[in-house]
Amino acid sequence: MFQIRIYMKIFMIFALITVLSFGLFAEEQSSTQKGTKNMDAILLVTFGTSDPEAKKAFVNIEKLARAKFPVYEIRWAYTSEMIRRNLAKKGEILLSPEEALLKLKEDGFKNVYAQSLHIIPGEEFHQVVATVVKFKKDFDKLIISPPLLNSMADVKKSVKLMLSKVPTERKKEDAVLFMGHGSGKHPSDMIYVAAAYEIEKSDGNAFLATVEGNPTLDDVLAGLKGKKVRKAYLLPFMSVAGDHAKNDMAGSEPDSWKSILAKNGIESAPVMKGMAEYDEIVEIWLEHLEKTIKGL
């Protein structure tokens, strides 16, 4: 019954998100619509990163996006003011979603498709939605495309793909622990609970916990100790292996997951690779974008 209640809540969340995010600015589109050079643009919207190694994930996204949508102008927007400010000090200018849309308007683009590179449709995603709504009147078409986990099908597909990325040297008794960001009290945080359920259902020694939501590391620790786990592979369930992965997951500070696991007699084997470094994961985002462009 508990699992049924979880899935009913998640279904309602997905339905509500769909209405809030897309019903506000849905419009007629041709299913065979093609991009027109100098008129159509794709805006890739992410929290951002200032870590050069983590940025490999964004390079991969852009490479695959350009291959799939060759006639579209592709631009970026970072939602994090702190990251934009840090990059500006190094001479690298990244725009906020609002600034990026204003620049697209000034440059004469008529049709803009904003692709969210968030994992779930949480608080940050809905802030982007609000920005898109604000600028809707400035374009012939301005539509936002959903984040990675926009349905239970997306959850199941992503979980299967990420479990396939666990190092092959893992032994049967070794655990796998994915680190998700979490979304606090936002309803979409339940999507991480669904992902955790799918992970454990697929692999009894695999778990997901979040930094700022549910499930928590404490929730998972009980299961790890109950199974007498001595080694765990740690993988980011995030688009990039940035600050959270380097510090909160694999850092040497006493409150990092690696340190906490060590205190509980569990050796950690961090895998420093963000989800967006895997082509198959990026393809899920791009499938969302393709459907948005085609009006499906």
CA-based nearest residue to 82, from 47, 57, 115 = 47
- Those residues with Cβ within 8 angstroms of residue 286's Cβ, 6 or more apart along the chain or in another chain: 64, 65, 68, 115
Q: Virtual CA dihedral for 73, 50, 232, 118, nearest 10 degrees? A: -40
* Residues 89, 22: Cα–Cα separation, whole Å: 36
- Give the amino acid at 19: V
Residue 250: which H helix or E strand, with range? none
- Which candidate in 181, 186, 244, 288 is catalytic? 181
Which is it for the CA torsion 271, 77, 113, 193, positive or negative? positive
Indicate if 181 belongs to the active site: yes
Cα distances from 257 to residues 112, 142, 229, in angstroms, run 40, 41, 15
Which is it for the CA torsion 265, 269, 272, 273, positive or negative? negative
DSSP-derived pairing of the beta strands 111-116 and 40-46:
parallel
**In the chain, how long is the greatest CA-to-CA distance?**
61
Q: CA 10, 16, 22 angle in degrees (round to 5)?
A: 130
CA-based nearest residue to 86, from 114, 54, 123, 60 = 54
Residue pair 184/120 in contact by the 8 Å Cβ criterion: no
Tokens representing 69 are 């949508």
Query: What are the catalytic residues?
Result: 181
